[in-house]
Every structure is written in C-alpha cells, then in structure tokens.
Structure 1
Amino acid sequence: MPEADPKVGVDVSTNRAGNPRHRLVAVGDSLTQGFQSAAIFNTPLSYPAIVAHELGCLPDFRYPLYGGFGGMPFNLELFLRDLESRYGRTVDWWEAPLALFRARSVMDRVEDYWERGPGRTVPSTTAIMHNLAVFGWDLRDALSKSADECRKRIDVPKDNLVNQVVQNAGERAALRVLPTRPQAAGALTQLSAAAELGKDTEGTGAKHGIETLIVFLGANNALRAVTELSVVWSEDSGFDSLDDKGRFTVWQPKHFTSELRKVAAEVAAIKARHVIWCTVPHVTIAPIARGVAGKVKPGSRYYPYYTRPWIKDRDFDAGRDPKITADEARQVDEAIDEYNDAITATVRAARKNGKDWYLLETCGLMDRLASRRYAEDPQARPAWWQPYPLPSALQALSPPPNSHFLAGDGERRTDGGLFSLDGVHPTTVGYGILAQEVINVMRLAGVRFFRPDGDTLRQDPVLVDFDRLIRHDTLVIRPPGNLGSSLKALGWADEALDLFRRVFSLL
C-alpha cells in the first residue's frame, strides 16, 4: 500500500532563516531530465523546469540543451513526422524500399551530428546545472559517474551502416549536464555537484544553499526488464560496478538497498533545506510492454505475457515474439515494492534525525493512472485504489489522456496521451502531472511560490498552468498522422530497423 503521508508520520522543525540561493535542484534519470519519444530534447519542459516556472524562478533555473536533429539518441516523433511528410499516413508496399532508405538516412544524419558533427562539441560550463539528471542512470551511476568518467567511456565513433544509433549517447548527454570547468570540476558526480550548490550560502543568511532538492533515482534498476523484455536478476558480484552492472536488468532488493544507503549518505551531506524523495514506479505499467491474451484470472493485475504494443493479441506468438511472463512481471513489481519500502524507511529515519525530508509516492501516482491494470478492471483494484483526478484542462480534452499507448486516426489523438512515443516516458502534460505532485509536497514543506515577476507571492492552491503545457504538447494536440490506432508505423520501424532494441539499449 502506498504511503499517503509525505511526512511519513514524523514532524520536523525546519530552520527557515535566510533565502537559499538555489531554489530548486534535481538529481535523477530520464524522468527528471525530461526524456520523451526516445530522445532528450525538450528540457525546458521537464517536470523540474515546469516546477521552476511555477516557482517564478525559471529564468535562473539552469538545465542543459540538446539542439540539432531532435536531440539524442533518436527522436521518434520527428522520425514519424518526417515519414508522413514524404509518404503520407501509410507506407505502401512499393514505397517500402524508399521509406527504409529514408529512415536509414535520417538515422545516419542524427548519428553523424552527435558523433562527428556540431553536436560532438560540448559547451564548457563553470556554473553547475540545477537539473542534474541524466537519462539511463541508476543508483551506481549517480554515485560514480562524472564528466571525467564519461569522457573515458566514449569510444572512437564508428560510422556503422547497420547499427545507426549514437554511440555512448548517455555519456555524451551527461557531458552537457555535469560541470567541466575548472579542471577539478570534471570529477564531480551529480550528487557531489549538488553538494557544491548546497555550499553556496555566502551573503544569503541561509544555512542551506539549496531550498528544495528532488531525488528521483531507481527506475533504471528495473526498467530494462520491460524495455528489453528480459528479466536478468543482479548477482552479488557486479551489481555495484560501472563495468559489470550492464549484465542485469533488475536489481535484487538487497542490492538496491545497499546502493540506496550510499546515495542517502551523500544526500544527507548536501545542504538542502527540504529534500523530496520519489518512489520508483511499477515499470510494468508503462505501455511499452502490453499485456496480451486477457488477464491471468478475474481480479488479477497481470496478463499471461507482455510484449510490444503493436503486436495484437491475435498475432502474438509466445514462441517467436519478445515477451516476459506474468510471473516475471509480478516478481519485478514485488522487487520495486521492496525498493520503495527501503526509500520510505530512509525518509522516515532522516526525519527522526531532524532532516526535513519528504516522500513523493510516484509509484502510487502511476498506479492510480494505470488504465488497463486498474481503471478498466474494478476487480483488480486494491482497497486503497482511487482514480487520479486529472486537472480540469486535461479532463476537457477529447478524449481525456490515459495511460494507453498513444494512438490517432490521422487527424486527432484517439487514445493515450500520458506517455510519449517510446511508451516509457511521459508527454509534456504527463510531466505536468508529476510537477503538480512535486508542488503539492513543496507547499506542504512551506516553500513559497511567486508569479513570473519573482516578487508577487502566490496563494494556495498553487496549480500548474496546464493550458500552457497543452499548447506545447504536440503529441496530445496533433500526434503524427501516420501513427494510427494499430501502431503499424512503429511496428514497421521496429521490424525493419530493430529501432526500439537499439534505442533502449542506450538507456
């Protein structure tokens, strides 16, 4: 059962003297960096940036930029729109060879841009980013990876005619996040970089350099089970090694807890007035792994198999198609429940020691938004479950967004809307929901929010401007016309280019 109280039942007295210079800092992975549709490109609309906008401090909130060819490693939305502009809503059989050539050409241009072209040059940075998240990172990466370490891990690029994806995309992305100057700064991890911001208190009258620190890590300790549709449990040797951990797709809870203790020790040393810890969502809810063949039994949360969303029930072949089983999905969820028990215990222990730490139940949030698992199956709902009330601006959309894979009819969105085209990461309005939940916890902590002028205090309730986010959310207001309800375009791309395996291997 999710923990309903962000204070986990423990009250804390907070030192609020002075005004911390850095109002919001976030460490995390792709969900915090703002990843969408298999690429990092839309960082001005990550959930921390949305929160900073509502705080009134967005002009001072630092985040990396990824211009050029729709970001990295590969922007599925731009790819589908490019195909649509040339071949219309469907690729006919006689156009397939040209479409395949075009697709490979686009992938080659993206690869060249980031490996050999302008994208290879990393801006020198002296100021530390406020959004320190990097896609694909797990607990060990947060502890060990620095700009110096990432440089060492970038291989000499090869212009591979078959595997046309950006090599070492995660490390290349991290170099735009982590500080590189002065020379010693290259050794800073995202946690130690946050610690440097925490020390920045001179002239503020505050004990802490950071007002609110968000920690959202751990999803990548289980996510590959659904992105790769393979469950490989961590072993006692290698789970905490940058060189060896790639063998595993899910961490055993004891290994996760071991890494979490180290992360928590570093976070405890950061001078942040408030710290918000996010729990790990159940990765099996993400629509990239669609349950097929009807639920195992009435009232069950699980389907016999989980496969790609474009493989329909009638076409699914357990002997041929990629899959995980109901038992594997259940075991992954149970492991994540233990991860979240460990995170909750960490927050509770810190509050008992006087630290103003909070728990944001992102796992419970996603469960409440889960369409196929709970919303459409009353028998499967646990006693605590209640549907998540969408903001009025989202309820007014037709249809209101849900957690199905995004679909359209060539003119408009017909389904989905909370997840982007990779079936894992939120759309812009999906990130807005997460931002609203963060804001709710920040207000509970007593954080003040201001109008964009930075001076006019906002009164409760502090609400995310979803009308603004809808205007920026191209997937919700106008999905690619070739997406369709059957997802044939994505299925074709995956079959012809092995696209999803290549991209997800970089996360």
Structure 2
Amino acid sequence: MRKSLTADMLDAKTPQDVNVQTEARKPASDPTLGIPVSVNRTGTPRHRLVSLGDSLTHGFQSGAICKTQLSYPALIARELGWFEALRFPTYGGPGDGLPLNLENLARSLEAQFGDTINWYEYPPLLAFLRNYLDQIEDYWERGEGTHLPATEGINHNLAVYGWDLRNTLSRNAEICQAILDQNPPRDNLLRQIVEHHNERAALRVLNSARDAAGNALSPVQAAAALGAEGTQETPNQGDGIETLIVLIGANNALGSILTFRVNWTDEGYDDMAVNDRYTVWRPIHFQAELDQLVAEVRKIRARHVIWGTVPHVTIAPFARGVATKVRDGSRYFPYYTLPWISDRDFDPKRHPHLTCPQIRAIDSAIDQYNDSITAAVRQARLEGQDWYLFETAGLLDRLASRRYLEDPTARPEWWEEVGGQYELPAALQALSPVPDSRFFLSNETGRIRGGLFSLDGVHPTTIGYGILAQELINVMQLAGVRFYQADGVTERQGRVNIDFARLLELDTLMAKPPSLVARAIDQVGWLDTRFRLFSGMMMASY
C-alpha cells in the first residue's frame, strides 16, 4: 500500500503546484498508450531520422561533447543502414571535445605521471594542467576551433547540450554568434575553461540551419524545414522525415543537481536572457513551455514522432546519497553531495548538498513534466497522429542501483508490473563486474564499479547510449520503420539488435579503463574536504 506523506518528507520552499508524492510515477508500458493510429505511408521520406534534444541526444560524455559518431541517433542510423547520410556535428581539438573531456584528461595524466600521483608531484602536475587547459582554450577561442566546418545541409541531429524547452523553441545560430561577438575571449590564468563553450558547440549544430533567405532557424524550425522537403518521389510534398525523436526537458531540472541549489522558476522563466537563475521549472511553467513546443512539433511533417519522458536527474551518480536511507522502504538518502566526498567526511555546514525533501520535490516535479508529455502524446494519437511515448524515466528508474536495485524494499508498487529490474544485454551481463549506475571507478586492475555513466557522473558511456538506442529502435520497429543493412538496400528481418560486443570495443572507458580514476577521486575528495577547492570551482563554473 502506498505510504502517506509526513511532515519530514516536505520542503517548505516547494511551490504549491508541485504535487509531492511518496512514490515515483508509473511508466507507461505501451508506447502507443493503447490508442491505434492508421499511418499514411505514401512516399519515401527524404530524411529517415531527425532528433531534437539536449546533451543526451547531442552525445555528451565525460564532461564534453565528443564521439558524436557514437551518440544514440548515430547508433540508430547505423542500424537503419543510413549512417553515411546522417548529418551531425563533430568536435575534436587537442582535448578531444568541448569543454573538457575528463577521460582524455585522465589518460593524459596517466601518460605523464603513471597510475599514481604523489604529493611531491603536485607542482609539475599543476604546470601540466595549466598547459593542457591552455591548449584547449586557445584552440576553441582563438585557433582552428573558431572555424566552422562546411555542412551541405541542415544537420539531422539538432540537439545541443545544456538546452531546455525554451532554447529548442527560440535559440539559433545568430543568437549564439551575437553572444560570442559581445564577449571576446580573455586569457584567464585562474579559470582556464573555454568561455561560452555552449554557444561554440551550438554553432556547429545550427550554423547551417537557415531558411532560403539565410535567416537562422531554431532546432524545431530546422526540423520543420527538413520535414518540408517532402518525399523522394514528390519534393516539397508529403512527410520529409520518417522518424522524429524529441527528447528534451532534463535541463529544466538538472541545474539543481549540478549546483546543489533548488531555485524554482518565477517571473522570466520563458526569457532566455534571465532564466539561467532558475534550476527547476515549476510544473505550470514546464507545461506552458511544453504546450508551445508541442504546437510547433505538430507542424513538422514527420511520419512518426517519438517523445521521450524526462529522466529523474536525481538518480545520476553525480549527486551521491550520503549514509543510509532515511527510513526503511525509502528510495532516498538524507543528503546528496558530490561523489568524491565520503560519508565520513561529509559536513552539511561546509559541503554543497541537497536534502531528501528537496530531492523528493524535484522528482515529483519531473513526474508532473512526464504526465504532461504523456498527455500530449495521447491527444496527438487520438487525433490520428502517429506519436509514441518513450519512457526514458522508467528506463533509468529500472537501472537505479542505489535507489532500487540494492534496496528491494524501496521499489514502487508498479515495479514488477513494468518488468522489474532492466535486463542488460548478454554481452554486458557477461562482464565482471556487471555495469551499473554507480559512479565510475577504475584502477590499475581495471573497472571497479559503474559503467553505465561516464566520468562526469551525469551522461552515459558508449554502452549506455547503446541501451538508449536499442530501446528507441524497439519503438521504431513497433511503428513499422524498416531497417536495412549497411548498403541501405537489403532489408533486415526480425528484431533489430544493437551489437553490444562491438560497442564494448568502441567504449574506451570499458575496453581500457583509465588506471588512476579511483586514486584521483580519493585525492580530490581529500583536498575538497579540507579546502572546498573542487566543489567551489564547480559551483562557480555553472
């Protein structure tokens, strides 16, 4: 039986429109929501796959946008036999990505100092780090990274890390370029991070997204332009896009986890010039933004549209639950703090943190976001549009190690009804240890734990993206999408499965884990506990 709310479960600053619950929302088990739709399959859409979203769709990993050829849209396109036609941005540079690829940094440190960094090596370590960061900063702010590569047409992957619903509706390349023009880079000796890295990354996504007059388009406008190109048989008529994936909304709550501050939206929530002050959107404000996005997506000529729910961002191991659960059967810990601060060292008076009631309120707000997304899909299907619901939230819930898998008493009433613990592909289950959602750790013996989240504790590893791709492929096959061999001609029969053995070889964190991650985390934790060095830097950089 569902438990009742008690006073200690509530945070006094939570707005009244947040419907705080004791149990997570039950994910939908049927992407069609039980509503049949007759699909007009006349003609061959010019674009087989287009995606709107944020970092999860863009391909962010270990602190950087990198390896975009292994983003989930790219993995799906490969299975479609359409990878060579897929247009997506790429990012390289001396640090392999933007703004800071933690895996590349870990391997560079390992090459320079071995698998252990001793205290007497700190002076050369600091010199090494300054030079390493300086090269990355110079490349993107003054060097080759400032030159945008030529793109033959609008990109198919239109996601940009860090963007929320309003950005997807309104932000474009001209806005991003104007911000860069108004803020010329400065060589900051103390804060050597690429300035305005988000705008620089976004330009590679959207610079080619323009109308016939050269006017810049937002991501949703760019998708509409691709849809308007029509079918191969009838240009400018029919569905120009076969499958459109919309997976957006995590950044309407993720700021609370990254900053360990809960600032609910108020006036100006829809103003891109000022809404960065907020870290969680109130459900009424999310609904207002979603209504506008849904209206724009309805205009896009896409044969099938898949809407993803918003994952419970509080499950990401970047925000680590401290000590033991607040009570038997609870899914929550009393405090959540940075992953390198141990239970023994944690001090709520000194360290950034969120409380159990705050985490519950964030999760409850996300559940309301997802109710709104579900309602939009339901209404579209009732009106004959072939929209589907992809349960990103349910998928992450079923992979949540510390919240549910290690504590069966905390599992919601619907747990077994939706399939229980997510069954990993056989190639992943054969690994030791089996990959899980805990913070990634490795040493000279190999991976110690984790494996589904990359080194930033928020974004998936390559195999994690493979799981997303597989589940979306399942929805696409339900929609009747045809998959082909690499030649794009020979149709594949039966269930289409991602080759996880291949992905394991491509996932460098899994294939060759950096040997100093565990020791580095210990050293970062020691320094942060005493001097609040790294947590202070993290808070200042958000």
TM-score clears 0.5: yes
Shift of 1:482: 0.4
The reply on whether 1:250 has 2:273 as its aligned counterpart is no
**Hey, what's the Cα distance between the residues in 2 that align with 1:234 and 1:489?**
37
SS at match of 1:24: strand
Q: Is the 8 A contact 2:44 2:231 kept in 1?
A: no
Shift of 1:179: 3.4
Aligned to 2:491: 457
Return the match for 2:80 from 55, 61, 66.
Answer: 55
Return the match for 1:399 from 419, 427, 433.
Answer: 433
Gaps of 5+ in 1: none
SS at match of 2:517: coil
Aligned to 2:16: none
Return the match for 1:171 from 199, 202, 224.
Answer: 199
TM-score of the superposed pair, with normalisation by structure 1: 0.96
Aligned to 2:189: 161
SS at match of 1:302: coil
Q: Is the 8 A contact 1:135 1:170 kept in 2?
A: yes
Deviations 1:133-164 (A, max 9, x none): 00000001001111001111122101111111
Aligned to 2:223: 194
Q: Is the 8 A contact 2:43 2:231 kept in 1?
A: no
Q: Is the 8 A contact 1:274 1:357 kept in 2?
A: yes
Aligned to 1:340: 370
Relative to 1, partners in 2 of residues 1:319 and 1:298: Cα closer, same or farther, differing over 3 Å? same
Q: CA RMSD in A?
A: 1.8
Aligned to 1:470: 504
Aligned to 2:250: 219
Alignment of 1:427-446 (within 5 A): 427-446=461-480
Deviations 1:290-313 (A, max 9, x none): 000211001101001000111111
Return the letter of the residue paired with 2:321.
Answer: G
Return the match for 1:33 from 58, 81, 99.
Answer: 58
Shift of 1:104: 2.0
Relative to 1, partners in 2 of residues 1:148 and 1:486: Cα closer, same or farther, differing over 3 Å? closer
Moved more, 197-206 or 425-434: 197-206
Shift of 1:380: 0.1
SS at match of 1:66: coil
Relative to 1, partners in 2 of residues 1:505 and 1:47: Cα closer, same or farther, differing over 3 Å? farther
Aligned to 2:422: 388
**Hey, what's the Cα distance between the residues in 2 that align with 1:501 and 1:12?**
52
Q: Is the 8 A contact 1:24 1:52 kept in 2?
A: yes
Runs of 4+ in 1 over 3 A off after TM superposition: 179-186, 489-507
SS at match of 1:414: strand
Same amino acid, percent of matched pairs: 55
Aligned to 2:262: 231
Deviations 1:251-282 (A, max 9, x none): 00000010000111110000000000000000
**Hey, what's the Cα distance between the residues in 2 that align with 1:493 and 1:63?**
40
The reply on whether 1:14 has 2:42 as its aligned counterpart is no
The reply on whether 1:134 has 2:168 as its aligned counterpart is no
Moved more, 176-185 or 112-121: 176-185
**Hey, what's the Cα distance between the residues in 2 that align with 1:185 and 1:48?**
27
Relative to 1, partners in 2 of residues 1:371 and 1:203: Cα closer, same or farther, differing over 3 Å? closer
Aligned residues: 506
Relative to 1, partners in 2 of residues 1:202 and 1:283: Cα closer, same or farther, differing over 3 Å? closer
Q: Is the 8 A contact 1:483 1:489 kept in 2?
A: no
TM-score of the superposed pair, with normalisation by structure 2: 0.90
Aligned to 2:313: 283
Shift of 1:204: 2.4
Gaps of 5+ in 2: 1-25
Return the letter of the residue paired with 2:223.
Answer: A
Aligned to 2:3: none
Relative to 1, partners in 2 of residues 1:370 and 1:470: Cα closer, same or farther, differing over 3 Å? same
SS at match of 2:388: strand
SS at match of 1:177: helix
**Hey, what's the Cα distance between the residues in 1 that align with 2:256 and 2:432?**
33
